[in-house]
Amino acid sequence: MKAAIYKHYGSPEVMQVLDLETPKPKPNELLVRVHGASVSRTDTGFRSAEYVVSRFWTGLIKPKCQVLGSDFSGVVEEIGSDVKRFKKGDKIFGFNDKTFGGYAQFLCIDENAAMANAPSNLALVDCAAIPEGAHYALNNIRAAKVSEGQNVLVYGATGAIGSSAVQLLKYFGAHVTAVSNTKNVGLVKQLGADEVIDYQTQDFTQTNTKFDLIFDAVGKSSIGQCRKIMKEQSIYVSTELGKYGQNIWRALFASFLGKQKVIFPMPVATTADIEFLAKLVQDGHFKPVIDRYYSLDQIVEAHRFVQSAQKTGNVVLQIMPKD
């Protein structure tokens, strides 16, 4: 099978496409013919090992799992002898942040991993763009205990996490103000945002509205900057650690640091969450935003683009034609 692999940490050019042996499923595993995988900021971060701390997950000296790709969609090609949840021919999608493997024509995965039957109203290739951004958005929204009618500001509403957050917050009944650039004002309105602040013409911290939650989906702001637009008892959550890791230590000492709190939840991917997302897509409450597609052979270009932090929503590695 063809797979895009990396044997060393470094620039996008360390990615290469090779022929590997097709894996054999263990008794508890499925062999999946991959149709799509997303190329995410997690993938490019792991590849570059820019944050040395990521090597504790991926391998100190060199990558333990050479095939990246935590999001995947595809068709069950073969099942192990003990598999009960899926059968040959099932169309599935999922999130595998333990062993990755989406950047290949086939992958083997534990039947109990975070995956579900693919919704029938989205091309199977596109289902690969559902999990990662939505998973991180969902974990943060749940940790912030967002309730109906709350006022939430999403900064960076056009990224994979931000575009998911806007849709999920609307589903949970929040009033959403999205911050985006001029070219994406229409997109975030279409995703359901009630108000849009165009950061190219307006400083979002100068709005008169006070929020229950500030969700910085691209990790570019700080609680200090946002305090004046936060209610007395409100929450700030960011997808990045912040300067000197401040979001972690502020979250750890939150009970001593006043009523406006920083939270930094540790995300956990579950089957129930992926099934929940599949249902939201099927019922028309959620649709992943896809910026563009690359083939397996274009993996270097795909990594260069995703690393630029300019993608709108998700980038998909298309391995099989769209159904």
Kindly list the residues in this chain that would bind ligand NAP in the complex (CB under 6 A): 40-42, 45, 133, 136, 156, 158-162, 181, 199, 217-220, 239-240, 267, 309-312
Q: Which residue is nearest to ligand NAP (CB)?
A: 159
CB atoms within 10 A of CB 21: 8
Under 8 Å between Cβ of 143 and 265: yes
Comparison of 190 and 233: residue with beta carbon closer to ligand NAP: 190
Bridge partners (DSSP) listed for residue 92: 74, 117
Exposed e or buried b per residue across 243-276, where buried means at least 16 C-beta atoms within 10 angstroms of its C-beta:
eeebbeebbeebeeeeebbbbbeebebebebbee
Which is closer to ligand NAP, CB of 88 or CB of 183? 183
Nearest-approach distance from CB 118 to ligand NAP, in angstroms:
21
Beta carbon of residue 254, minimum distance to ligand NAP (angstroms, whole number): 17
Instruction: Locate 45 and state its tokens.
Output: 């971060």
Supply the minimum distance, in Å, between the C-beta of residue 41 and ligand NAP.
Answer: 4
What's the full length of the chain, in residues? 323
Q: Encoding tokens for residue 244?
A: 């000197």
Nearer to ligand NAP, 131 or 219 (CB): 219
Q: How far is the CB of 97 from ligand NAP (least distance, A)?
A: 9
- In the bound state with ligand NAP, the residue whose beta carbon lies nearer, of 131 and 162, is 162
Q: Which of 83, 39, 100, 71 is nearest to 303 (CA)?
A: 39
Q: Which is nearer to ligand NAP, 22 or 99 (CB)?
A: 99
Q: How far is the CB of 63 from ligand NAP (least distance, A)?
A: 17
Q: What is the DSSP string of 223-244?
A: HHHHGGGEEEEEEEEESS--GG
